[in-house]
Structure 1
């Protein structure tokens, strides 16, 4: 009788433990966008998609992370798609952005140490834009769309939605300057109210605007200098100022009355500050933070069945300030990344090509999520949780993502030729499983591959050869569904 009572108590404790573990991941379903209730098998998929910007020139969508109470840090994942010859207008955010150029070419400019810093980015480049730094983003690819994946750190956010944009220029969106009283703006710009009303209400395209010849706006200052080379910009600005001053002198002679002191010089100096005064070519570009290309790096691990590459703060120093890491994994058809644990970071990943399966396990050994993933899906894995990814039988699984630590992640692989279990092999581990050391050794030595393994349905090694190479990275296509549009 006592044994039955003890067994009953143990069962109650076990059930309570499972319930408590799953309870930590209960998700509020309000504010979700057309996805219905969160299904248990989708627990670690990000599905709360929000469109934050949409114009004829492009869009930005964000997948909001809910994280749960176990996650030590949350990241939102954003997607920026821009048409050829388009501009994401100057703004600053309350969150740090780390941008990854999936396809196309871009120019990013932002205020760095009180100067305008600019960098041209190509496919595979990673770049960080600190929270609070005014920036703009320009698609410079010839007749080519620009597709960017970015991480958004909500820890610095004001808590107003996913993140908050503060637009510097524009009538639509409204500039943050428009909120000041007319007298304050007249004093700040040294301009008349009529001039300022005209100045602040000429742009109606939205946050992402066309700047090509067929979409030129008469009031757009950006059309006059953004497409110039770095060594031509200051000369062009000086010419604009000189022309304007000559026009003002002529008007003064003709009208014989005081003219408003507001001019191109006032406007340009208010935007570019000391840039015009210093007149030192290329100084901005040389001082600005460098970019780092993920595709130029050799894989950290590579075998017949796939490869993986990671980028941390020691490889790209700006990541140290944001505390974010970056990775990219490619699994050949039917291959599996063996069960492993991230001891330093939560992992956020997006399938950029192919399909497969991901399984995540709760700390108590019960199944947390086992689901099919396809191109466009975004998942996250909490720190310390064991998980594995498996490519589909007939196509690869290629995924890119961010981690919440800029230190080397050093994942702990639980199974395989270089696994944690094999390193710990000895009488203590054998005793933990209740088997002999010989049995333990026999089990652990059966697997000769490490990190990325074949599965029973993997094709023969002869079919793979040695064709895996980062130079032949896959390109992806536009994915469209009812709730999210993401271009690659």
Structure 2
């Protein structure tokens, strides 16, 4: 008899699990699935899956262009968010770029018509800023954040003779939203801007004869590119007197990973720098986040009230799972820009009229991938079963952001009135409390250790949904 009851419980649980998978908008591997008007579940074939379009995912260097691709380094820029999908149009004044400098490489001095935030993700080096009054140099290691104000000349060098220096860059242009340019005082390619002034103007402004100016600006024609190999003596000179950023803001820099984590336990760590505490982030209205998840660990579901997060995977392998309003399955490839915009706008209007329908977006992420998490969208991150994962993230419009947890010890459901719980979930409030009030941990949990009671309690949990 006991065996028969257990069999029935297992059978019922299997049916509930099947029903949950049926209602899901995407399977665990990120393939899109649909429920047609007759309610029949069907899965798209693999040929269609290859053409599926995920507006939130920017795979490594796939949705980006190489502004400078050279033997000794590169600067890649993500597509404009609006060019990816209409749903991302609110963030189009920001851009994201990735700078990589090979070992023992110097990056030419330049300024930009944009405010920038540099976050070091790999390697070590020295960055120097030239203001109208002074010169400041900072030692670079993973976690160092440097603000480069618009118009400020900057150059840097990779000190290491083995490892690449990698930097993620958040850009907020000041002239044209979403468009920025670098300006170089010296070089053949990129060209020096001095070469385009009139000769007589330069002779007078620099008090230098034209033949000497020609020798200066023509330089060594064989030395071209934004990235130049530097000798060990030159690297030593460039690194002398550099300040080591700490957890506190000093000048234009601080070290995110030198701070005390905002959330942490044995499963993971979460670091966050906000515009409220760091003045250098206020002008861009941006935050900077670092997330470390150990093998098999989960950062519990939550959402951000105002800030949209641009997640950049720096190391390891993991997943993001996000709940969002249903999006049409489409590909941008092969479509005329105007017709694509018109189609997206029509579908956006249709979806606005049809509230309360959601899709699950689940994506496997590896080093170099970028993923966008809009404000208000419930999201969770978790590491794979055999690798840890590390992210850095830029929070856009981060000034007054609040993070609301919908799971874990500090979840928002606990704050509901008993009557609200009963009306919302359609079950006694005691059952809601049993699920949401007895969670032992906040923020990070292990996927392997979450065995919460008997089969009966699992079935009670299923009744909530």
Q: Is the 8 A contact 1:117 1:288 kept in 2?
A: no
Alignment partner, residue 344 of structure 1: 306
Distance (whole Å) between structure 1 residues aligned to residue 70 and residue 183 of structure 2: 18
Q: Is the 8 A contact 2:295 2:387 kept in 1?
A: yes
Match of 2:261 among 284, 299, 311: 299
Match of 2:52 among 25, 39, 52: 39
Match of 2:418 among 416, 423, 426: 426
Match of 2:207 among 190, 195, 198: 190
Q: Is the 8 A contact 1:334 1:458 kept in 2?
A: no
Cα deviation for residue 397 of structure 1 reads: 2.5
Distance (whole Å) between structure 2 residues aligned to residue 73 and residue 94 of structure 1: 18
Q: Is the 8 A contact 2:81 2:88 kept in 1?
A: no
Match of 1:417 among 389, 409, 420: 409
Q: Is the 8 A contact 1:335 1:458 kept in 2?
A: no
* Alignment CA distance shift 1:57-1:116 (3 Å): same
C-alpha root-mean-square deviation of aligned residues, in Å?
3.0
Q: Is the 8 A contact 1:43 1:368 kept in 2?
A: no
- Secondary structure of 1:322 counterpart: coil
Cα deviation for residue 361 of structure 1 reads: 1.6
Is 2:168 the partner of 1:149?
yes
Distance (whole Å) between structure 2 residues aligned to residue 157 and residue 389 of structure 1: 36
Q: Could you tell me the TM-score, scaled by structure 2's length?
A: 0.70
- Secondary structure of 1:344 counterpart: coil
For 1:7-406, what aligned pairs fall within 5 Å after superposition?
39-40=52-53, 42-47=54-59, 48-66=63-81, 68-69=86-87, 72-74=90-92, 75-141=94-160, 144-154=163-173, 156-158=174-176, 162-203=179-220, 204-212=223-231, 226-227=237-238, 229-230=240-241, 289-363=251-325, 364-367=356-359, 369-406=361-398
More displaced 10-residue stretch of structure 1: 291-300 or 402-411? 402-411
Say how many residue pairs are matched.
359
* Alignment CA distance shift 1:288-1:299 (3 Å): closer
Distance (whole Å) between structure 2 residues aligned to residue 303 and residue 391 of structure 1: 15
Encode CA deviations 1:389-423: one digit per residue, 9 max, x unaligned.
Answer: 12212222321111014536431011222101112
Distance (whole Å) between structure 2 residues aligned to residue 425 and residue 304 of structure 1: 33
* Alignment CA distance shift 1:143-1:338 (3 Å): closer
- Secondary structure of 2:57 counterpart: coil
* Alignment CA distance shift 1:372-1:140 (3 Å): closer
* Alignment CA distance shift 1:37-1:197 (3 Å): farther
Q: Is the 8 A contact 1:292 1:316 kept in 2?
A: no
Distance (whole Å) between structure 2 residues aligned to residue 175 and residue 85 of structure 1: 23
- Secondary structure of 1:390 counterpart: strand
Distance (whole Å) between structure 1 residues aligned to residue 318 and residue 393 of structure 2: 16
Q: Is the 8 A contact 1:43 1:369 kept in 2?
A: no
* Alignment CA distance shift 1:131-1:190 (3 Å): same
Q: Is the 8 A contact 1:347 1:404 kept in 2?
A: yes
* Alignment CA distance shift 1:107-1:157 (3 Å): farther
Q: Is the 8 A contact 1:112 1:288 kept in 2?
A: no
Alignment partner, residue 442 of structure 1: 434
Distance (whole Å) between structure 2 residues aligned to residue 347 and residue 443 of structure 1: 29
- Secondary structure of 1:197 counterpart: helix
Distance (whole Å) between structure 2 residues aligned to residue 37 and residue 373 of structure 1: 17
Q: Is the 8 A contact 1:72 1:346 kept in 2?
A: no
The structure that has the greater radius of gyration is 1
Q: Is the 8 A contact 1:361 1:367 kept in 2?
A: yes
Encode CA deviations 1:22-53: one digit per residue, 9 max, x unaligned.
Answer: xxxxxxxxxxxxxx98733x321124111111
Q: Is the 8 A contact 1:121 1:291 kept in 2?
A: no
Q: Is the 8 A contact 2:57 2:371 kept in 1?
A: yes
Distance (whole Å) between structure 2 residues aligned to residue 351 and residue 322 of structure 1: 22
Distance (whole Å) between structure 2 residues aligned to residue 151 and residue 172 of structure 1: 24
Distance (whole Å) between structure 2 residues aligned to residue 168 and residue 407 of structure 1: 35
- Secondary structure of 1:362 counterpart: strand
Q: Is the 8 A contact 2:268 2:444 kept in 1?
A: yes
